[in-house]
Amino acid sequence: MIVTNAGGLSRTQDGSAWRCLARRGMLHSECEAFDYLRLPPGGTRDGRGREGVDAVWFVLSGEGEFVCGADGSVPLRPGDLVFWSGGSRGSLRNPSSGHLELLSFAVLPTEVTDRLPARIPVAPAPLTGADHG
């Protein structure tokens, strides 16, 4: 079992904070990553580095927007969920005066996972019952 939290965030030059909570190899799935993101006022997260990865972003707190390029933007509030297919088009933006906090679950698309070997987690099985000390 792996227990992690959002402490020890990596910080970027624009003040964004990021923490990967789980990675491929930890689950019996083709999960690319499970991430926590905190965007400061004026911060942006684009799709660079996530091409070919489908992601679901869930807004925990704050207000922001998903910018869809020439198509405009969609406002985001706590409880909203964004499915971001492919990662390369669009961006998350925080035009508000407070932080925007999100969770992301990213998976590889079927055309990629069909070519990968079966996933075997590197984490040991969870402890249960009398084994849990």
DSSP 42-77: T-EEE-TT-TT-EEEEEEEES-EEEE-GGG-EEEE-
Total residue count of the chain as it appears in this document: 133
| pLDDT tens digits along 1-19 | 344 555 666 666 677 776 6
| pLDDT tens digits along 59-79 | 999 999 998 877 788 899 998
Q: Identify whether 126 is part of a domain.
A: no
Q: In this structure, what CATH number is given to the domain that contains residue 104? A: 2.60.120.10
Q: Identify whether 104 is part of a domain.
A: yes
Per the structure, the complete domain to which residue 92 belongs is given by 12-62+73-110
**Three-state secondary-structure class, residue 102:** strand
pTM summary value: 0.67
| pLDDT tens digits along 32-47 | 777 888 999 999 987 6
Q: Identify whether 128 is part of a domain.
A: no
Total domain count for the chain? 1
